[in-house]
Amino acid sequence: MFRKVLIANRGEIACRIIRTAKRMGIRSVAVYSEADRDALHVREADEAYHIGPAAATESYLKIEAIVSVAKEAGAEAIHPGYGFLAENADFAEACAAAGLVFIGPPATAIRAMGDKAAAKAIMEKAGVPVVPGYHGKTQDRATLLKAAERIGFPVLLKAAAGGGGKGMRIVRREAEFEDALAGAKRESKAAFGDDRMLVEKLIQRPRHIEVQVFGDGLGNIVHLFERDCSVQRRHQKVIEEAPAPGVDDGWRAGICGAAVAAARAVDYVGAGTVEFIVESGPQGRPGDFFFMEMNTRLQVEHPVTEMITGTDLVEWQFRVAAGEPLPMAQEDIRMTGHAVEARLYAEDPANGFLPSPGRVSFMGLPKKDARVRVDQGIAGSGSAIPAEYDPMIAKIIAWRGDRDETVSSLKAAMDEVRITGVTTNASFLSRVLAHPAFRAGGVDTGLLDRSMDELLPAGRSAPSDVLALACLGLLRQQQADAAQTAALSRDPWSPWARADGWRLNDFGQAVLRLIDGGGVVDIPCRFEPPGYRLALPEGTVVAQLGSAGSWHDDDEPVLIDEAMRVQLDGLAPAASVIRDGDTLHVFHEGGHWRLGIHDPLAAAEAHEGASGGLTAPMPGRIAAVQVKKGQTVAAGQPLIVVEAMKMEHTIPAPAAGTVSEIRFKAGDQVREGEVLVVVEEETV
């Protein structure tokens, strides 16, 4: 077995690999960019080496630098994780040339499966069903359009050299084809350095089901059953589970057998995933399946397979790469229970799921146990989410005896997430897990799009119980501050040092002013022992605080109470209240509300930005400028494309007008909030 392994990755997957390496007594070597100098994987590894600037092209994608560090550190092998260089055949060959073991499949298999067009041909020859489409080498626009017309709209444009939803567009009619093709090619070029496209028939209401396969150097190949990854947004997986709902043993044997045949066709060694697109039958049950692609690496969702099979797939990778046979034969691999994984991201669902890079001011994740697993990629409060990389914070996985129990367990775990400083998708994930269609197992890749109005209710004002909890949080803070001040005074027991509303011969009153969605809400609070009477917009409630929470007199975000014990008209809701500057974060029943603490002086100084200026929604790079100065544009017309965290975001014109100013060109880096384009609206 290896004595020392370099991990050519970052974040959650690097930490995941380090964990298994430590258990096996293997020393781990981390590499890091300038943006990751204080990252969790750097702290957890036995050794760490700086390899370049923040941009991935200058650090995590620099083959020569990574191989050089591995040699310098005395590593015997390199584990690529997933993403970055994990499916780069040149990297695998560079490792071999340097006398290092690449913990992954041979370069020939990576190349065969990395070229999606070639992979389809191999699968057809091996008898694995494939989706009808065009996989040819001729890539001019006319040829691709003719192929789309022959197949029949709607079609799917896919990057020939990659996966993960990058460089993928659905085209429903010919009029959309040119813009979709340009965007897909641009995104594919940025992600994979290759803009070749496949054109395929779009399967209506498809399911995305994949099979985990594993091979060793002795010719043994097994499967570890299937996973359902149908709950997606923009071709990015959101929720994954194993086994797939609605699958019987006969259908499972067919798709798993096809996956093993696919792996044998390329003499596969190591961990791999064969992905299939599956037609939905009655009640969402799986119908015919078609080979989509093979990922020649470990997948983000591998924990659900580990949970139902009781295996450690990273350990299997180490052992197979070291020349050992597979740890288990096919007949010994058993499936027990059900596992579901949710991907916790720093992104803003209410704002088109735009990435939310920045510094995490407070972080609380679910408690881990034998049935709830948390694979996190950042250390906690104070950690940075760099704009240059994927914004994943953690993966949260639950395992139970059956699917219904597992989904309930995972939702409860998601409701424990407490993160401030960056916006996350935690509440959105909680609503997905509670959605009736998902609970019933009726999953397909269009589920989220069809349900978005329910999953992202627009214009929600904070309900009365949330406003009450926010008020109680502020009152608790005042009590703690007063107690701290009194303790430092000459007379700590003076009644005048109290902040619980006590008054001589009367009950104290105060008006708390909160900002909810831009509007100010005045909430009169009257101290009535042993609690308060709060005059909320929807009526008056009687609230009672429990024991005093913790409060620290500094500028850092403060958890006023992790599980506030309160009584609201006889009810006892569970909640957490966190104050971060002038913002109160209330976490309650799976929701996250942000309420401002009204500051009249700040409100008077507030002003609007430049009239007609369209700003960058996040830090990133200008991928394309699609208009010229002086050009007349229509409402909704694409103006400029910002690339951030490996995804493109198009900024459209808010109304008809004339472009009066363009402040950036393609390739420029921009900060969040910077004005990109100024459009002077038409006047009537």
**3-class SS of residue 208:** strand
Cα separation of 19 and 22, whole Å? 5
Cα separation of 28 and 14, whole Å? 10
Please tell me what DSSP assigns to residue 350. Answer: G
Dump the DSSP string for 286-325. EEEEEEEEEE-S--TTHHHHHHHHT--HHHHHHHHHTTPP
CB atoms within 10 A of CB 596: 19
Q: What six digits make up the tokens of 80?
A: 């690529």
Taking the CA of residue 572 as centre, how many other CA atoms within 13 Å lie in the half-sphere pointing to its CB?
5
Cα separation of 203 and 291, whole Å? 12
Cα separation of 681 and 654, whole Å? 9
Cα separation of 477 and 550, whole Å? 8
Please tell me what DSSP assigns to residue 518. Answer: T
CB atoms within 10 A of CB 138: 11
Q: Which of 169, 297, 373, 476 is catalytic?
A: 297
Cα separation of 409 and 340, whole Å? 9
Between helix 447-455 and helix 426-434 the angle, nearest 10°, is: 110
Burial class (CB in 10 A: 0-12, 13-18, 19+), 506: exposed
CA–CA distances in Å: residue 569 to residues 275, 501, 534, 607, 644? 53, 19, 11, 40, 47
Catalytic: 621?
Answer: no
Nearest C-alpha neighbor of 174 from the set 206, 142, 196: 142
What value does the CA radius of gyration of the chain take, rounded to a whole number of Å? 27
Contacts of 314 (CB under 8 A, 6+ apart): 16, 17, 20, 21, 79, 298
- Cβ pair 302, 212 in contact under 8 A: yes
Cα separation of 393 and 238, whole Å? 13
| Host H or E run for residue 182 | helix 177-192
Please tell me what DSSP assigns to residue 112. Answer: H
Contacts of 420 (CB under 8 A, 6+ apart): 360, 361, 362, 557, 578, 580, 583, 585
The residues that are catalytic are 297
